[in-house]
Structures are given as structure tokens and as C-alpha cells.
Amino acid sequence: MLPIRIWFRYWWRSLVDRVWALYHWYTYRPGDKQILVVGGSWGGYTLARRLANGVPSGYRVVVVERATHHHHTFAFPRYSVVSGHEEKGFIPITEQKPGQWPRGALEVVVGECVSVDEDSRSIALADGRTLDYEYLAIATGANVGEPANSQDGFAKDVAISELRRNQKRIEASDSVAVIGAGAVGVELAADIKSVYPTKHVTLYCSRDRLLVRFPESVHAEAAAELARLGVEVRYGVRPGREENTIVLADGRREAFDLVFKCTGEVPNSQGFEQFCDARGYIKVTDTLQVEDHNPGGRIFCLGDVNNFECPKMARSAMAQARVVDANISAMAAAPDRKNYNLSTYTPAEVEGALRLTLGLDKNILHLDGKTTDFPVCAVDMEPHYIWDYFNVPRTFGPGLIPEDVSCDKKEN
């Protein structure tokens, strides 16, 4: 459970937001001025729904997302091992339920942004369409690697096929290697060994400890549980891969039945190259406005795709959405002003929190400087919470009225 001071802070903010949204609901009138949010994942969607419940009349929010479904990548290591739940990891963001914002305040458009024209204040989509903007927020996140590589295709059926292929390959393999000891690599190795105890699972870590972005206590908990499960961890090894063969720095080769490479994320900044640094991250100021080629400061960037030094995690993107929302709203409310008192972003401690699964029977939580055991979630990773957050109807999870019960009520 979150510490009381953090829980109260977010409860209070939520209450204030809700009161403001109710006021806005009755005063808002839609218009033709567009605020474009490119990217509909955690940061982009959070920003869009905040703006939809607060922007002045005359504006509307348009989310531009290249995929029809939000990919719940946190569950992909589990869904690569355990079958029967992979459909739950893809949330159809175009199927928004009504009633969460005023009518006409938000629209979701499926399309891929390929360029930005700052002079005409417009973006071009891959299918030839152009969209004008008064304000633009880039929230395209990062491309994830294995076990479900988002760069291979963003269609739901493609990604599901890859997850199911992983399930079959893991089941058929006696020896599995995982390259990369971040959260994804550790969770994948632990899940494989937890579900298939007799398989030989080797985790290759390029550093002297696991999960180097987090404190030593996280490594200690994870290493102990991997040892208990029987995962072999090779520290200080950065191997190459040729098909299902590990290639070590000295030229030695180690053969496995299956090899996964889980070595991090790459910023998804294609189409925004004029704003990027040498690593491909979009350069931003502390107000999260894009540094270069940005007349009037109308272009913002949030989440994993920007170069702000902070945890590259969903909580950070959502926290940055609050700052971008405040700044766009301030500018939209007084568009003729030359200077604004804009909010700045400072990472909070809670943004670096980590919930880590270590097989089917152990979870840990790192928060507020402490690493502790955390209640084990259901095998499917309880994605119904994610569906509810993204405001789309679901057919699984708690809170549903069985169809036969509802029919009985109608007959009575």
C-alpha cells in the first residue's frame, strides 16, 4: 500500500480535478481550435483526458495514435509464458465510453505522424492527411524490444501472434537464455522458471548486479528469488546473439533452444527529428516545451521520448501530463499574452517506484526508499484496472453483471 502522505496527496488532487471537471462540463462549448496529442499511451492519454475536462470553450483535443489498441507491455513477459490472457493486454482506445468529458471535447484519430510544420502549425500523417494545431504535445513513448517487439507491428493481431508464438517456443524448449537484466528480462526469466521448473534458464547481466536503475535492495531481493527458483545468472557478461546461440566477447559460443534479447527501449521519435538530440530523444525545457524549432512555445513533449532526466516509467509520463496540461491550459486561456507563468516539472520520488513480479508466487515493491514484499496479483496481472483507466468497456474482471442475472432482472 502507498504511504499515507502519498495516498492523501493523490486523493486530494483527484478531488480537486473532479470538482473542476464538473464545472467545466456545464460551461464548455466545442470549437475548431485543436490541441493535438500525438501518442495515446500513459502520458498522452492522461494529458488528453485532463485537457478535455479543462480547456476553454472553442478548443477540442485530438489524440493521434498509430495503433488502434494500447499495448499493456507491463504484462508482456507474463503473457509470453502463460497462455489464455493475451487478448486482455490490448485495450481498444478508439472505443471510448461516453460521460467522462463534455461532448465534443475529445476525439481519437488513428494515424502515424511523419512530420511537423512549425510555420503552418500542422502535422502530416503517413496516409496523407494533415491536421492543424494551436498546441501540440508529443507523447510517443519508446519502442519496446522482446519478448513482444513493438517495432515489428502495432496491429493487435500481430502482437498477439508473437506472444502466442513465444508461449509455444518456451514450452517446447529445454534451455532458454535471456539477455538483459532490467525489469523485463528479470520478470521473463523468473516467469519461465516458475511455470517450467525443469527448464534450464540463464539470465545474462552486463553489470555486476540486477536492475541497476534501482537501489541495491531491489537487486538483493530479485537475486535471492531467482536463485531460489533456480535461474542461473551470469554477471558482467554482455553477449551477442546469433539466432539461438549466445556469442561471448572472447568468441566462445553457447547454444540454447531459445534466446530472448530484452535490452531496453528506444525513443519513438521518428517524424520529430528536428527536435531530437544525438540519442534520438526530444529536447525539452523544465516547462516541458520543446527547445528547438518551436515558435511561441506551442509544442510540448512528455514521457519516455523526451530527454528530461527522470525515471522512464509510466508514473513519470503521467506526472508530466499534469504539467503540460497546466501550461497548455494557461496559454489557451489567454492566447494574446506574450509571457506566461508556466509550471515546471520536478520528478517526485513516487515516480521511481517499481512493482516487480518474480515468478507466479512473489512480487516486490520499491517505493519511498524501501523494498518490501507486495501482494501477489492474479496470473493475468489484473489488467481490468488498465481497461478502466483508459475508459473502454471490458468483458472480464470484477464489477461486471453476469448476463443471465441482468436478463432475470428484466423479466421480473
Residue 66 grid cell: 498509430
CB under 8 A, 24+ apart: contacts of 396-401: 396/88
Question: Does pLDDT of 343 surpass 90?
Answer: yes
Is the confidence at residue 401, as pLDDT, over 70?
no
Write the pLDDT tens digit of every residue in 163-193. Answer: 999 999 999 999 999 999 999 999 999 999 9
The size of the chain, in residues, is 412
Per-residue pLDDT of 293-327, as tens digits, reads: 999 999 999 999 999 999 999 999 999 999 999 99
Per-residue pLDDT reduced to its tens digit, 107-121: 999 999 999 999 999
In angstroms, rounded to a whole number, what is the distance separating the alpha carbons of residues 52 and 193?
A: 45
Domains and CATH numbers, the chain: 1-145+265-347 (3.50.50.60)
Q: CA–CA distance from 396 to each of 80, 84, 89, 288 (Å)?
A: 20, 13, 12, 37
Above 80 in pLDDT, residue 95? yes
All three cell numbers of 58, joined, read 472553442
Which residue's C-alpha cell is 474482471?
A: 397
Gap between the Cα atoms of 77 and 82, Å rounded: 9
Contact 202, 285 (CB under 8 A): no
Could you tell me the pTM of the whole model?
A: 0.90
**CA quadruple 184, 111, 289, 285: dihedral sign:** positive
Distance, in Å, from the CA atom of 275 to the CA atom of 269, rounded to the nearest integer, reads: 9
Lowest mean pLDDT across 20-34, 81-95, 270-284, 395-409: 395-409
CA distance 85 to 383: 10
